[in-house]
Amino acid sequence: MAAAEPKTPAGTAAARRLARSCWSAFWDYETPKVIVVKNRRLGIVYRTVQLLILLYFVWYVFIVQKSYQDRETGPESSVITKVKGITSSEHKVWDVEEYVKPPEGGSVFSIITRIEVTPFQTLGTCAESMRVRNATCDSDEDCVAGQLDMLGNGLRTGRCVPYYHGSSKTCEVSAWCPVEDGASVSQFLGKMAPNFTILIKNSIHYPKFQFSKGNIENRKDGYLKHCTFHEVSDLYCPIFKLGYIVEQAGENFTQLAHAGGVIGVIINWDCDLDLSASKCNPKYSFRRLDPKHVPASSGYNFRFAKYYKVNGSTTRTLIKAYGIRIDVIVHGQGSFLCDWILLTFMNKNKVYSHKKFDKTPEVWPSSEPTPTFCRAALKTWACWGPLKSVAPGAPRSPGQHGLDLGPGPCPHTSTLRRSKTSSQRAPCKPGSGMT
């Protein structure tokens, strides 16, 4: 008897059947079956959902969000400022050079409205300020010689001395004396400050769309010398009174001038560049930037000193200045019809395409011209076959034509130049118009 054939394992057979089934199913063609349900309620729900989706895309996506536009945020911007005005305190008259810091006219500057002056300070020893922690003392043992407090005014000498015109005592320090708290005099400069004028010159540029504009119109009639800003009638006269800025920020000028504060002048350039440039206008808003209700961080002040010589010794006047700091903040968004729509559906799409894409001109060799035919000649060659000299009046077969080409399937055959001898071919030359 012949030996029995070995049985194929069940797993292998199942795998083969699965492979054959998959291979057979791979070549099947499927088509969906549509069932039309005659149900008015179901139809109303179905069409309502379709309508909502359509309204979402038409109203929100296209009208509200304008998603068909390409956008650029954060324009390149420059700001130049200039302050004008004069004010006075109890002791002197102040002009712009003294109360505006820094004087360069940038996007951030301060207008001094109140000062505390400590005059005639010289290097020496004196009582430390009582505001300094652990500065009060009863005897010399309470003061450690050589100790330096980073929040104090100088280096302690180890002596306990009377504080200015009082019964209290503080540790003596080696510093600029007298210290600030002991001899400062307050002066208010805010009397005429609300009438100070501030010119804010701003220009922006959207590099993606090659669009630039400024907040001053090109006028030659001395317009800026006689105008002040008005949101409707004088939008392009960016000259603001300091009192107007503080008022628009919702602050009390007297309180702000006494303690100081930070006011933001926000210029927003939100431009739809599909429209004309005249529709792209700046919008101004004003608000206080520092937290006025937090005593630890509200207000604004800084110190500076003026140095001079008295009898050969260096003397200085220390000034603690309170003021209104102005921060000019520029932001915006430029939007323009997106490239795909612009280059596909617009009437002048070829013009826009030419402006968007640069084409490199063909470079002709500077050496002896290569005897090649112009594009039109090459296309004609492809349509009519090789050009052959045919006697006038002789019958012509397809693909056999003289240089006096008649009608044929290639519309550009009329662009060929006729040479005096039909068997000659003129090579293309740069600037010949045969491109």
Annotated binding-site residue numbers for ATP: 82-84, 197, 301-303, 320
Strands 185-188 and 283-288: unpaired
Cβ atoms of residues 425 and 399 within 8 Å: no
List the structure tokens of 163. 């504080």
10: left (phi over 0), alpha (psi -120 to 50) or beta: alpha
**CB atoms near residue 16 (< 10 Å):** 11
Half-sphere exposure of 429 (CA within 13 A, CB side): 6
DSSP string, 356-381: H---PPPPPPSSSPP----HHHHHHH
Number of residues that make up the chain: 435
Find tokens 């004069």 and name the residue: 86
User: Binding-site residues, please?
Assistant: 82-84, 197, 301-303, 320
| Amino acid letter, 135 | A
Paired with 170 in beta bridges are 136, 161
CA distance 73 to 332: 6
